[in-house]
């Protein structure tokens, strides 16, 4: 990691410092409460304490991360780590500490992204490591979610990228252990576990029977040790059922209060259209009032016409969508493809999973940023999907003072991508792998994206204008959820395209 990488991280940190006074969601108090909970209560109380609505629902290693953060927090201001039983604490000291802690935790993302951008097994990226780092470290979606809305996704994605770096370098054991640490820090990354399992089984455990069994035992023991260290205390206290009920609250419903732009948006809209048409035709359709549009977490009101969706249904659909990738990983487990496979697995989880949050698209765009320089088509795809992903998160920041910030961040990033991609590919500083290896979709269009992509992106502007100007003028305060539905529906088209495009690359070229 050179001085250039540190400069880029420093520039991103300066922007984060400017965002310190900005809007904070309830997630800010959630994480402050977890600092207090982990430092004030014994381990046996972490997952049973219900004195606050912000109960701990992340795995134990993330709770340990919160405990470590509580040590310097208590020195700065002891009130930060004081249990308040549901009452918020937002003193300037608390705001500054938590904001700085999120920025400092991004050092792990810097380390992992630097390692991947200069990986010896990824020759296309060696030509433009600076742009690759910029795509990851300066992601506007990451800035909006972590450093305004407030979370620690940069830290968690750093673990993911570090795991992928180990796998690309051939250090399978380290990669498997790092992924186990990631799962024990945020369980939503479990969606990539099938790809890891198949790849490591075929790549690390390859060889004769004795060697394969021995390596399987070594990998299983190393990964098992991570899980034992994380969950062992709760097994000892007989609390595993309670822990899993916190980690997997299936009662929250199919969709989050604000719909993530995925497949289920189309399913819900189709159900509503069918219910409306059948009712007009005289059928007795029981349409639940404000079903999926009440803006409530846990709103799992049944569908009016289409079959009901259960967690098992979504689980099977995710596996089915992922199956072509698993077959490829089994038949031809090559390290150069692991980032693409893991990203596709995360995309399947985002598109078809249960109660998906819109913020989970970061699990897609950050790894895609690492491989965006592999070919002109990868660059074109990343340009579109990163803009759509970021725009889909705009409704998270609904206060007027943040509006110019989110628009400006996305515009600057879009210009950076356009100039960087156009310059590098037109000057030939990055080799288009299609012509040499036929491995990632060649570019037959003029410019970075074709007219279809440009028209779709201009449609985002129309959606935004409707929500900001025309909807209030036409409806006033009525139908407040309609602009959000429109954003989710329109962005879901782009995300669905991304899923299909990734699937095509995996089937044809990996």
Structure tokens at 190: 């479990």
Q: What is the pLDDT of residues 327-339, one digit of tens each?
A: 999 999 999 999 9
pLDDT at site 291 = 53
Q: Does pLDDT of 293 surpass 60?
A: no
Residue 302, pLDDT score: 72
pLDDT-above-90 percentage for the chain? 74
Residues 213 and 358 in one domain: yes
Residue 239: strand, helix, or coil: coil
On the question of pLDDT at 297 being above 80, the answer is no
Q: How long a stretch of residues is the chain?
A: 510
Give a yes or no: residue 351 inside a domain.
Answer: yes
Among 276, 309, 342, give the residue marking a domain's end: 309
On whether residue 182 sits in a domain, the answer given is: yes
DSSP 150: I
Predicted pLDDT of residue 283 = 83
Mean pLDDT, residues 68-75 taken together: 96
Residue-wise pLDDT tens digits, 299-309:
445 788 899 99
Which residues are bridge partners to 59 per DSSP? none
Could you give the number of structural domains in the chain? 2
| Whether residue 224 is found in the same domain as residue 129 | yes
Which element (helix H / strand E) includes 171?
A: none
Question: What residues pair up with 255 in beta bridges, in sequence order?
Answer: 356
Give 37's contacts (C-beta < 8 A, 6+ positions apart).
Answer: 46, 49, 52, 56, 66, 83
pLDDT digits 0-9 by tens, 244-287: 999 998 877 888 766 899 999 999 999 989 988 998 888 887 76
Interval 366-394: pLDDT, tens: 999 999 999 999 999 999 999 999 999 99
Dihedral angle sign, alpha carbons of residues 77, 80, 82, 85: positive
Query: Which residue did the predictor score with more confidence, 123 or 325?
Result: 325
Q: Is residue 456 domain-shared with residue 406, that is, in the same domain?
A: yes
Please check whether residues 136 and 272 belong to one and the same domain: no
Q: In the listed set 274, 309, 344, which residue is the last one of a domain according to the structure?
A: 309
Alpha-carbon distance of 504 to 496, in angstroms, equals 12
| Mean pLDDT for the chain overall | 89
Residues 188 and 275 reside in one and the same domain: no
Is the Cβ–Cβ distance between 290 and 482 less than 8 Å? no
DSSP 85: T
**Cα atoms in the 13 Å half-sphere on the side-chain side of 415:** 5
Domain identity same for 377 and 498: yes
Q: Does a structural domain hold residue 240?
A: no
What pLDDT is stored for residue 292 in this prediction? Answer: 54
pLDDT level of residue 446 (50, 70, 90 thresholds)? low
pTM: 0.92
Three-state DSSP class for residue 271:
helix
123 pLDDT higher than 50: no
Per-residue pLDDT tens over the stretch 155-211: 999 999 999 999 999 999 999 999 999 999 999 999 999 999 999 999 999 888 899
- Domain for residue 130, yes or no? yes
Do 212 and 268 belong to one domain? no
**Is 302 part of any domain?**
yes
The full DSSP string for 29-73 is: HHHHHHHHHHHHS-GGGTTT--SSSS---S-HHHHHHHHHHHHHH
495 located within any domain? yes
pLDDT of residue 436: 40
Residue 182's pLDDT is what?
98
Q: Is it the case that residue 439 has pLDDT exceeding 80?
A: no
**CB of 479 closer than 8 Å to CB of 466:** no
Does one domain contain both 256 and 399? no
Between 510 and 467, whose confidence is greater? 467
- Cβ–Cβ under 8 Å, residues 364 and 387: no
The answer to whether residues 379 and 447 belong to one domain is: yes
- Same domain for 255 and 178? no
Buried b (16+ CB within 10 A) or exposed e, 234-247: beebebeeebeebb
Buried b (16+ CB within 10 A) or exposed e, 266-291: ebbbebbebbeeeeeeeeeeebeeeb
Specify if 184 maps to a domain.
Answer: yes
365 and 271 in a single domain? The answer is no
pLDDT for the residue 120: 44
Least confident of 108-122, 145-159, 341-355, 426-440: 426-440
The domain in which residue 340 lies consists of 3-24+90-233+313-509
**Per-residue exposure over 427-444, b if at least 16 CB sit within 10 Å of its own CB, e if not:** eeebbbbbeeeebbbebe
Residue 330 within a domain: yes
Residue pair 413/139 in contact by the 8 Å Cβ criterion: yes
- Is the pLDDT assigned to residue 438 strictly greater than 60? no
Looking at 169-208, list the stretches that DSSP marks H as alpha helix, in order from N- to C-terminal side: 172-183, 193-203
Q: What's the pLDDT at 337?
A: 96
User: Where does a domain end: 277, 309, 341?
Assistant: 309
Residue 282 shares a structural domain with residue 325: no
């Amino acid at each position: 990691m050179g001085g250039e990488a540190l400069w880029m991280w420093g520039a991103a940190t300066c922007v984060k410092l400017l965002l310190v006074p900005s809007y904070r969601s309830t997630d800010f108090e959630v994480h402050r409460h977890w600092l207090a909970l982990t430092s004030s209560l014994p381990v046996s109380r972490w997952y049973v304490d219900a004195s606050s609505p912000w109960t701990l629902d992340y795995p134990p290693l993330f709770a340990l991360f919160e405990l470590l953060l509580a040590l310097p927090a208590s020195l700065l201001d002891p009130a930060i780590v004081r249990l308040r039983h549901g009452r918020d604490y937002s003193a300037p000291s608390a705001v500054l500490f938590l904001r700085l802690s999120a920025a400092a935790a991004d050092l792990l993302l810097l380390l992992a992204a630097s390692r991947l951008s200069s990986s010896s097994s990824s020759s296309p990226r060696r030509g433009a490591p600076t742009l690759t780092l910029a795509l990851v470290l300066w992601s506007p979606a990451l800035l909006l979610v972590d450093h305004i809305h407030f979370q620690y996704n940069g830290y968690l994605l750093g673990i993911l990228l570090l795991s992928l770096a180990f796998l690309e370098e051939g250090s399978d054991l380290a990669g498997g252990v790092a992924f186990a640490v990631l799962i024990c820090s945020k369980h939503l990354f479990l969606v990539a576990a099938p790809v890891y399992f198949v790849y490591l089984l075929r790549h690390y455990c390859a060889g004769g029977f004795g060697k394969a069994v021995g390596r399987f035992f070594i990998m299983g023991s190393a990964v098992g040790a991570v899980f034992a260290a994380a969950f062992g205390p709760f097994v000892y206290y007989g609390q595993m059922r309670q822990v899993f009920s916190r980690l997997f609250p299936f009662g929250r419903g199919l969709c989050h209060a604000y719909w993530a732009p995925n497949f289920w948006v189309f399913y819900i809209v189709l159900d509503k259209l069918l219910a409306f048409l059948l009712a007009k035709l005289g059928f007795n359709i029981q349409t639940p009032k404000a079903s999926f549009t009440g803006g409530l977490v846990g709103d799992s009101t049944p569908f009016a016409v289409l079959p009901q969706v259960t967690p098992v249904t979504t689980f099977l659909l995710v596996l089915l969508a992922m199956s072509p990738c698993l077959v490829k990983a089994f038949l031809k487990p090559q390290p150069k493809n692991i980032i693409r496979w893991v990203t596709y697995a995360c995309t399947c989880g985002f598109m078809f999973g249960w109660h998906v949050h819109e913020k989970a698209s970061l699990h897609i765009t950050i790894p895609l940023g690492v491989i965006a320089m592999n070919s002109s088509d990868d660059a074109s795809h990343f340009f579109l999907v990163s803009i759509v992903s970021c725009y889909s998160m705009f409704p998270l920041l609904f206060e007027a003072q943040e509006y110019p910030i989110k628009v400006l961040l996305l515009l600057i990033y879009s210009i950076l991508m356009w100039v960087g991609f156009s310059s590098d590919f037109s000057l030939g500083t990055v080799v288009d792998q299609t012509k040499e290896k036929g491995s990632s979709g060649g570019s037959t269009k003029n410019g970075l994206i074709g007219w279809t992509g440009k028209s779709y992106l201009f449609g985002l502007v129309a959606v935004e204008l409707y929500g900001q100007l025309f909807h209030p003028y036409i409806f006033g305060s009525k139908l407040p959820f309609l602009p959000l539905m429109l954003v989710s529906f329109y962005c879901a088209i782009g995300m669905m395209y991304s899923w299909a495009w990734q699937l095509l690359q995996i089937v044809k070229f990996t």
